[in-house]
Structure 1
Amino acid sequence: MSLVISVTLLSGKTVSLEAEPDESVETFKSRAQEALAVGRGRLVDSTGGVLDEAAILQKSGLRSGDTLSLSMSRVCVQGHNGGSFAAILGDGFLVTWGRPEYGGDGGAAQALLRDVQQVQATEQAFAAILGDGLVVTWGATWQAFAAIRGDGSVVTWGHVEHGGDSNHVQDQLKDVQQIQATRKAFAAILSDGSVVTWGSLRHGGNSGAVQHQLKNVQQIQASLFAFAAILGDGSVATWGEADRSGDSSDVQCELKDVQQIQATHRAFAAILGDGRVVTWGEPSKGGDSSDVQDQLKGVQQIQASYFAFAAILCDGSVVTWGEKGAGGDSSDVQHELKDVQQIQATHSAFAAIRGDGSVVTWGCTFQGGDSSTVQDRLKDVQQIQATWGAFAAILGDGSVLTWGDPAWGGDAGGAQDHLKDVQQIQSSGNTFVATLGGGSVLTWGRSWQVIV
């Protein structure tokens, strides 16, 4: 006798399928994935156990009428400093949580947040790109209005000054490829390489002065107050508050063959094709690299704290500049900065992963610059993420180590015993979010809980 088994996703989408008792779990799962139009996942029973794909359905103890969950491996989390999060589930549905006034409640937009491809955030609002290239924005305050398009595909609301309302550019927001955000404004790259901006004028919400240059845009980077766009010919266009990195006129002649741009809160650093670096913005916040310019050769990657930069060179060494108290001075650990593969940053400290999986830290001690309490366990580190004042490292066995300010997630507390089989970590200003192997999401920092 055939079995009828339901398979449900985290979003609630469900399908019921007929199956023969001797059908393999793997075959049944493939049919469920096809019916739900999602990628690969794992079938989980009502007790939370993962079904053995090599087994047959009958031997797995399944009966007609049972419901299984399809746990997706892809859970992408985006957080922002206001303390709210948005998670893209494996089937493209988006869930939000955190402070409602900062976008933690999708509100009227929630019904539209399907087939989400990318989500970005300003300080108090979110913007999501849907599969058809349309954009949904939400967040900021409840005193704003909602605008629904005639086809019902897009709704926007939130405080204009924070980017939560894109109504005045909504007809332009089609086939969006990428979104970036300053503190209170968004910039979207369309498929034709043009750019649409909205939000606070002071923070880059108006690109009118450079709109004629914004053609064939390849990438956009944002500081707190300004945007910088890499154009197809390798040149750069900037806009936003002029004295806080929005004006690159002093170095414009050097900005050729730009490959990558990174930003502190008030300065930009561009890596050129030959490995040199060009900087602009507030000098003390990373905009002036003259003291280390002769060392900035063969640069492969740059990371930024709030007011300092750290560059990884082709030989695995590191060069730092900017505000010393924010990690701009790495002299105390310079001899350890060898074979560096990746760097992450809090507000005022850096953490570097070396080729052997060990970690070197520097900068503000209480914001993660001192990892001595966990140093002997920082081995086989795969990934590091940071809040304002703490770091979290995923080890090779899927466990997590934290250090830095306990108030900002430096102490995982009650969450520590649950941090196993961790696949990814994301963060907001004061909270970490870990995606576990089964697709559930665990948060800690101001508080801890399992979200989904």
Structure 2
Amino acid sequence: MASAEAPKLSINIALPSGSSLTLTASATSPVAELKTAAQEVLKVPFLQVISVKGQLLNAAETLEEAGIHQGDVLTAIVQEPRLAATRGAFAFWCCGSGVVTWGNPEIGGDSSGVQDQLKDVQSIEASATTFAALRSDGSVVSWGHPAAGGDSSQVQDQLKDVQQICAADYAFAAILKDGSVVSWGRPMYGGDSSKVAGLLKDVKHLAASKAAFAATLANGSVVTWGDDDYGGDSHEVTDQLKDVSEIQSTEAAFAAILADGSVVTWGDHHETFGSDSRAVQDQLRNVQQICGSSAAFAAQRPDGSVVTWGDPRFGGDSSEVRAQLRDVQKIYATGSAFAAILANGSVVAWGDPESGGDSFEVQDQLIDVKHIEASEGAFAALLADASVVSWGDAEFGGDSSGVLHQLIGVKEIKASDYSFAAILANGSLVSWGNEQNGGDSRNVRLQWL
């Protein structure tokens, strides 16, 4: 006798906005099929489905196994996909879901060893060679180069109630709920904060250079650790570091914006990475934003003008474009060049021409620019029409002509050192640049998210 057909279930799916839809599915159908059907009706690429008991449904289970019954009202939460990148690998996730990685397997492109732990991910930070994922319960999962933070087993029992993670090149530091800090990775790159542990109280924000960290405390003061030549020693400017509101860095120097808009710099003792701002100190007033390349800083002032200092070869000299730097809204940097978006949506670039400092060939395309991402040697601009314009060194993603026909409806762009990846409105991925370092995402599968 033939087995009875599984009953059909009529299921209501509600959105937080109040709108809803009704879907019909077999009790033996996987939850994944229900999600896909809802995504198609709602025209969204990713969503999570919550049961009547408030539990996240397992996409691999059947509706029957998940305890879904006729007439149940499930909640659908539309997810915004996100990207993070090490030097040569990418991680893709949606808040509360799992993670997909690709690129160089030795520096984060292979997450198979921790894939069963990558659940309920809220955010991901990336160092040069390692990823660290913060989960909704405040725990941390890391993978990539073991000696550079990919192995966090020695501090895993301390990584609880984590609020924020920050990455240097080969180390991580995490702020806990109580305002203390836990660090791991290579000690000389900031992975050991034991010498300043007693000072790391009420920490509100972390910043990192290549091999040092700077922590801003609730009282506006700053605590640093790591390699002295990379900003780990700030004792010469300690009395100036009061009421700090923001800190940015180059490879070996830090620049802090104070509450009054003035700037304090420190770091590299050779003063070739932007640690010496004395020549422009009288211009650094009411600073609103600072951006760092590898060895130079650019500061945006309230009138939209820009002040630069540091190594001229890395964008520290903007004199050739000073007349064009008016009404600047935001500044971005590759390793040795800067690009500024102006109020009219156009772009001004300076610094090393080979690394994006010369945008002449695409200048007529840089219209209504909304955002820019930077690899080590190239820029990619996201325009208002959701298309992309890239320039700079082709070896670092400066040439996107091979995928230009696919770059339609772009929602977000992220850069590794050598390549770019874009999330499209339909949830698909497009990447370009060095194929071994994240520039090839053709085999990446995202449906299970």
Q: TM-score, normalised by structure 2?
A: 0.83
Equivalent residues in 2 for 1:53-72 (5 A)? none
User: Does 1:352 pair with 2:340?
Assistant: yes
User: Does 1:244 pair with 2:230?
Assistant: yes
Residue matched to 1:409:
397
Q: What is the distance in 2 between the residues matched to 1:302 and 1:427?
A: 20
Q: What is the distance in 1 between the residues matched to 2:425 and 2:90?
A: 19
TM-aligned CA deviation for residue 123 of structure 1: 1.9
User: Does 1:262 pair with 2:255?
Assistant: no
SS in 1 for 2:313: helix
Contact 1:385–1:393 under 8 Å retained in 2: yes
**CA-to-partner distance for each residue in 1:372-430, whole Å, 9 max, x for gaps?**
00101111001000111110001111110010001111101321110011111101000
TM-aligned CA deviation for residue 139 of structure 1: 1.2
Contact 1:71–1:438 under 8 Å retained in 2: no
SS in 2 for 1:259: strand
96 and 38 in structure 1: CA distance in 2 versus 1, 3 angstrom threshold: farther
User: Does 1:392 pair with 2:380?
Assistant: yes
Equivalent residues in 2 for 1:282-361 (5 A)? 282=268, 283-361=271-349
Q: RMSD of the TM alignment (CA)?
A: 2.7
Q: What is the distance in 2 between the residues matched to 1:102 and 1:38?
A: 34
Residue matched to 1:210:
196
User: Does 1:97 pair with 2:102?
Assistant: yes
Residue matched to 2:17:
none
73 and 171 in structure 1: CA distance in 2 versus 1, 3 angstrom threshold: closer
Displacement over 3 Å in runs of 4+:
24-39, 70-73, 447-452
Residue matched to 1:371:
359
Q: What is the distance in 1 between the residues matched to 2:364 and 2:246?
A: 35
Q: What is the number of equivalent residue pairs in this alignment? A: 393
TM-aligned CA deviation for residue 138 of structure 1: 1.1
Q: Identity rate of aligned residues, in percent?
A: 50
SS in 1 for 2:360: coil
Q: What is the distance in 2 between the residues matched to 1:438 and 1:35?
A: 25
SS in 2 for 1:294: helix
196 and 380 in structure 1: CA distance in 2 versus 1, 3 angstrom threshold: same
Residue matched to 1:4:
24
User: Does 1:135 pair with 2:153?
Assistant: no
**CA-to-partner distance for each residue in 1:142-183, whole Å, 9 max, x for gaps?**
xxxxxxxxxxxxxxxx23xx1111111111100101111111
Contact 1:169–1:196 under 8 Å retained in 2: yes
AA matched with 1:272: L
**CA-to-partner distance for each residue in 1:339-394, whole Å, 9 max, x for gaps?**
10011111100000001100000000010000000101111001000111110001
AA matched with 2:32: T
TM-aligned CA deviation for residue 4 of structure 1: 2.7
AA matched with 1:225: A
Q: What is the distance in 2 between the residues matched to 1:435 and 1:74?
A: 10
User: Does 1:188 pair with 2:206?
Assistant: no
Q: What is the distance in 1 between the residues matched to 2:248 and 2:231?
A: 12
115 and 266 in structure 1: CA distance in 2 versus 1, 3 angstrom threshold: same
Q: What is the distance in 2 between the residues matched to 1:286 and 1:94?
A: 37
TM-aligned CA deviation for residue 5 of structure 1: 3.7
User: Does 1:431 pair with 2:438?
Assistant: no
TM-aligned CA deviation for residue 16 of structure 1: 4.1
Q: What is the distance in 2 between the residues matched to 1:89 and 1:77?
A: 9
Q: TM-score, normalised by structure 1?
A: 0.82
**CA-to-partner distance for each residue in 1:93-127, whole Å, 9 max, x for gaps?**
11111111112111221011011011112222211
Question: Which of residues 434, 437, 442 is equivalent to 1:446?
Answer: 434
TM-aligned CA deviation for residue 26 of structure 1: 5.6
TM-aligned CA deviation for residue 449 of structure 1: 3.9
Residue matched to 2:85:
79
TM-aligned CA deviation for residue 75 of structure 1: 1.1
**CA-to-partner distance for each residue in 1:290-314, whole Å, 9 max, x for gaps?**
0000000010010110110000011
Residue matched to 2:406:
418
Q: What is the distance in 2 between the residues matched to 1:235 and 1:100?
A: 39
Q: What is the distance in 2 between the residues matched to 1:435 and 1:29?
A: 10
Q: What is the distance in 2 between the residues matched to 1:27 and 1:97?
A: 26
301 and 30 in structure 1: CA distance in 2 versus 1, 3 angstrom threshold: closer
TM-aligned CA deviation for residue 80 of structure 1: 1.1
Higher relative contact order (CA 8 A, sep 6+): 2
Q: What is the distance in 2 between the residues matched to 1:378 and 1:27?
A: 30
TM-aligned CA deviation for residue 315 of structure 1: 1.1
Residue matched to 1:166:
152
Equivalent residues in 2 for 1:12-91 (5 A)? 14=32, 16=34, 25=41, 33-35=49-51, 74-81=80-87, 83-89=88-94, 91=96
Deviates more, 1:178-187 or 1:292-301: 178-187
SS in 1 for 2:247: strand
Residue matched to 2:69:
none
Q: What is the distance in 1 between the residues matched to 2:106 and 2:131?
A: 11
73 and 357 in structure 1: CA distance in 2 versus 1, 3 angstrom threshold: farther
Unaligned runs of 5+ in 1: 40-69, 141-157
SS in 2 for 1:101: helix
Q: What is the distance in 1 between the residues matched to 2:259 and 2:318?
A: 26
TM-aligned CA deviation for residue 440 of structure 1: 1.4
Q: What is the distance in 2 between the residues matched to 1:196 and 1:269?
A: 23
Q: What is the distance in 2 between the residues matched to 1:445 and 1:31?
A: 30
SS in 1 for 2:192: coil
